[in-house]
Structure 1
């Protein structure tokens, strides 16, 4: 049986670091909700059987009319953490025919610079991989480690050789990712992304070259940068 591809976009966060009065995924960027730009990239990829957006049960900002014409489904099953939202989303995908052997691409809602081309590249590289993998960029900047309780003073410089900055989408088999998250939870392991869950099981995910434009909108100044980038892309 041929494996299918699903996308899962956890969208239950409050975006507290962004300085916005509402969750950042609903803030207008380049004339559209930030989430709209993200969903549009996945909508353009007909390789995907379905895209699931996971929002908080009490989300009062989501309005499906603002995303009219885009192919996706919504479930109000967001949890208290990203890890919980992803796990609940994996369970919800079963409603739409996803089985353990199918692939799921988990993507941050707040990465509106994702492109259909990058999504297709990830699928093309990983579709026959035994583990799966993630989009990432090699670290270009010098890294400094700050000593605890030092008031921001440098303790040492870290070697950047072999270091990559994780992005999303992160693509793994539905069953493997679900089992990895559950196992990590049982053992009290703190997960920072989906790849760390797979690593917890002893697997080595593949890295696929990402893009600087696929950055995560996190801080107030990031909105202006995303706005300029998306307007430039839309006009090209």
Structure 2
């Protein structure tokens, strides 16, 4: 596990105001099956999105938070997931795009001037810990050669390559594979350049790191807790709620 050392963050020239979190909460939650989406589904008595925002509010490194959500739901998200919670970090909103890539771009545009780093995170990962966010920021700040850092874990399951019918072709060496999560932290200029490159070439990535990789950037994986789960389908909710309740006891 990569553990934070905040003195090294300071040595790397890191200042709280130069890191902006972009929390992407623009999905419709079609796989979750809730007509109102999943961001405001209650977990341990609060909207899921408020738990996600709270983790970033409690960090040592994040100086601004941008929540990217559908334009027509901005007031609702603010009223239910932000205003009742008394967060100290400045929070602004940006309008979600048609795709995840578009939404990340909208958040990037909304980042305040003077921001040198951005931490992109899924709104539906409410179990993220502040210390994990700080560790990812630290890892990027401490290595001038890196363009980004991605949280995740080395794969522990056996992996198979199969054809469309499910027939196995081969079993790759899992030591080279990681299961990635968010946050994904980038130097803001590197992500902007990657976004421009993707727009010019038509590249569509499966995550933000893939855009930077495609543009020739250097991205590192760091190990983070496995309980940083994403709420995708209804059966994810009881497990996430149980973990949240356990943390509060």
Give the structure 2 partner of residue 229 of structure 1: 243
Give the structure 1 partner of residue 5 of structure 2: none
Give the structure 2 partner of residue 86 of structure 1: 104
Q: Considering only aligned residues, what root-mean-square deviation do their CA atoms show, in Å?
A: 1.8
Given the two structures, how large is their TM-score scaled by the length of structure 1?
A: 0.90
Give the structure 1 partner of residue 134 of structure 2: 120
User: Where does structure 1 lack aligned partners over 5 or more consecutive residues?
Assistant: none
Give the structure 2 partner of residue 62 of structure 1: 77
User: Where does structure 2 lack aligned partners over 5 or more consecutive residues?
Assistant: 1-12
User: Is residue 149 of structure 2 the alignment partner of residue 133 of structure 1?
Assistant: yes
SS at match of 2:20: strand
Deviation at 1:6, TM superposition (A): 1.0
Residues 49-88 of structure 1: CA deviation (Å, up to 9, x unaligned): 1011011112274242442312342324210011101111
Deviation at 1:173, TM superposition (A): 1.1
Give the structure 2 partner of residue 181 of structure 1: 195
Residues 53 and 72 in structure 1, CA contact (< 8 A), matched pair in contact too: no
Paired with 1:28 and 1:158, the residues of 2 have a C-alpha distance of 40
Q: CA separation of 1:111/1:11 partners in 2, compared to 1, >3 Å: closer, same or farther?
A: same
Give the structure 2 partner of residue 74 of structure 1: 92
Q: CA separation of 1:89/1:45 partners in 2, compared to 1, >3 Å: closer, same or farther?
A: same
Deviation at 1:127, TM superposition (A): 1.0
Paired with 1:223 and 1:72, the residues of 2 have a C-alpha distance of 29
Which of 61, 66, 75 is the aligned partner of 1:47?
61
Paired with 1:23 and 1:98, the residues of 2 have a C-alpha distance of 33
Residues 55 and 74 in structure 1, CA contact (< 8 A), matched pair in contact too: no
Deviation at 1:159, TM superposition (A): 2.8
Give the structure 2 partner of residue 11 of structure 1: 25
Give the structure 1 partner of residue 159 of structure 2: 143
Q: CA separation of 1:25/1:142 partners in 2, compared to 1, >3 Å: closer, same or farther?
A: same
The size of the alignment, in residue pairs, is 229
